[in-house]
């Protein structure tokens, strides 16, 4: 079966034994823990396919344990919460944190088996992107972002997320997605241009996420305007993301004024990775753990100096680039410990030519191109000490085109 190991965490011996008996009869492989401490210990040694977790326990409650796993990258399996005296608030909080189900005690047999079956099917073949904001970091900058997202969580207004490429705007959208409702994220804008109401039909009662809306053509912009007028009717929450300055595009006439005004009504900026460097060591360690857990890379760890090198880098490609870099380190490092030298080797971007090697290949071409152009122009401006005539000559661009390009890439000029 291969997808049948279950960890049961409950402080009541009667319930542990009962669940264990029922589940073993059904052919599941069951491990038992009587408190959070034991569960922590077992989770470090194994990765169960499913955890049944009691909310009320004497040492640490289930929700706290769930948060702990989520923020350390260990929540890679579905977790179903159990509670006898559960309030609905607790269940809602648990699903927000990433629990994939909730069972009230006494648990009816059929309900137990159907919930377990469903959770195991849902957890197969895809790592759960759970409590997604923990994958952005846990410092004050991300805590503030989380606060702002929570403030708009229950609004029906379309939300615009802005930030540099690779900052994880999709994770913010996931944070606003209510469990067990549709999540629709079209790969192309064709359907938006030709059949926008189809998208609403698919997303009914759930969330529609449109990434990089700066790229919308005229027809797709019309489709988006039409769709916005009917969000309430379909009960759809619309979240859009862009790394392009829509104000400039609108001023240039490339973007519909009305559309820009509606989108600008509720807007949250997602910080660049260099704005919350304090999170980088923990994020890099989490990413490394995931490479090791998935069996992609052998067991390795970062030296303190290596983590420090990562922390001090500027990451023009943000989280996407950090993830690509950690993956390269995990796969190419010679010893068990990843050293600062290994990091410098991978990041070797002292010249614009080599800078290409620091750009991950696991992002869409547009994002990779933006990252490359940003690094390229920043290096040129540095080398020419801010002399824009020389930069334009070396880049082979007209001055006006160069300025527009720099603005689009979010490069601030000295003294501006």
Is the residue at 374 inside a domain? Answer: no
Q: Are 338 and 329 in contact, with CB atoms under 8 Å apart? A: yes
Residue 44 and residue 151 in one domain = no
How many domains does the chain divide into?
Answer: 3
Is the previous residue joined to 106 through a cis bond, with omega within 30 degrees of 0? yes
Confidence of residue 108 (pLDDT cuts 50, 70, 90): confident
**Could you read off the pLDDT of 13-46 as tens digits, one per residue?**
999 999 999 999 888 999 999 999 999 999 988 8
Confidence of residue 363 (pLDDT cuts 50, 70, 90): low
Q: Is residue 94 over pLDDT 60?
A: yes
Question: The pTM is what?
Answer: 0.57
Residue 138 and residue 264 in one domain = yes
Confidence of residue 128 (pLDDT cuts 50, 70, 90): very low
The rounded distance, in Å, linking the Cα atoms of 64 and 55 is: 9
- Residue range 261-280: average pLDDT? 94
Is the residue at 76 inside a domain? Answer: yes
What is the structure's pLDDT at 39? Answer: 95
* CA dihedral of residues 367, 322, 129, 285 (deg, nearest 10): 180
- Residue range 138-149: average pLDDT? 92
Residue 205 and residue 252 in one domain = yes
The rounded distance, in Å, linking the Cα atoms of 146 and 300 is: 31
Is the residue at 67 inside a domain? Answer: yes
Residue with tokens 């989108």: 263
- Strand partners for 81: 53, 102
Is the residue at 257 inside a domain? Answer: yes
Among the listed residues 173, 170, 175, 227, the one whose alpha carbon sits nearest the alpha carbon of residue 201: 227
Domain end position, chosen among 125, 147, 176? 125
Residue 265 and residue 139 in one domain = yes
Is the residue at 354 inside a domain? Answer: no
């Amino acid at each position: 079966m291969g997808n049948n190991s279950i960890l049961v965490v409950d402080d009541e011996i009667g319930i542990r034994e009962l669940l264990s008996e029922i589940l073993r009869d059904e052919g599941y492989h069951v491990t038992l823990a009587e408190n959070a401490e034991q569960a922590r210990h077992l989770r470090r040694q194994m990765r169960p396919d499913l955890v049944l977790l009691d909310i009320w326990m004497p040492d640490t409650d289930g929700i706290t344990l769930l948060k702990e796993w989520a923020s350390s990258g260990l929540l890679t399996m579905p977790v179903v919460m159990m509670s006898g005296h559960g309030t609905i608030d607790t269940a809602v909080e648990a699903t927000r944190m990433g629990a994939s189900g909730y069972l009230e005690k006494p648990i009816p047999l059929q309900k137990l088996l159907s919930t377990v079956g469903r959770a195991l099917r849902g957890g197969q073949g895809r790592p759960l992107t759970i409590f997604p904001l923990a994958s952005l970091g846990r410092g004050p900058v991300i805590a503030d972002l989380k606060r702002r997202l929570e403030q708009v969580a229950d609004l029906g207004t379309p939300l615009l997320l802005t930030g540099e490429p690779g900052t994880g705007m999709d994770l913010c959208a996931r944070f606003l997605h209510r469990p067990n409702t549709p999540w629709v994220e079209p790969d192309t804008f064709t359907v938006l241009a030709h059949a926008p109401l189809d998208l609403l039909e698919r997303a009914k009662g759930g969330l529609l996420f449109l990434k990089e809306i700066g790229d919308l053509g005229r027809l797709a912009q019309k489709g988006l305007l039409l769709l916005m007028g009917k969000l309430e009717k379909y009960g759809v929450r619309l979240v859009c993301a862009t790394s392009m300055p829509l104000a400039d595009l609108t001023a240039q006439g490339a973007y519909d004024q009305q559309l820009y005004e509606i989108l600008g009504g509720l807007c949250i900026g997602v910080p660049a990775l260099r704005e919350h460097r304090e999170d980088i060591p923990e994020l890099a360690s989490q990413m490394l753990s995931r490479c090791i857990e998935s069996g992609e890379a052998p067991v390795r760890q970062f030296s303190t100096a290596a983590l420090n090198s990562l922390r001090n880098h500027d990451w023009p490609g943000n989280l996407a680039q950090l993830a690509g870099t950690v993956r390269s380190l995990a796969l190419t490092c010679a010893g068990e410990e990843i050293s600062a030298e290994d990091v410098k080797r991978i990041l070797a971007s002292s010249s614009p030519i080599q800078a290409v090697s620091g750009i991950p290949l696991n992002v869409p071409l547009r994002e990779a191109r933006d990252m490359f152009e940003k690094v390229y122009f920043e290096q040129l401006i540095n080398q020419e000490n801010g002399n824009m005539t020389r930069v334009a000559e070396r880049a082979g661009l007209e001055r006006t085109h160069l300025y527009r390009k720099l603005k689009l890439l979010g490069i601030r000029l000295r003294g501006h």
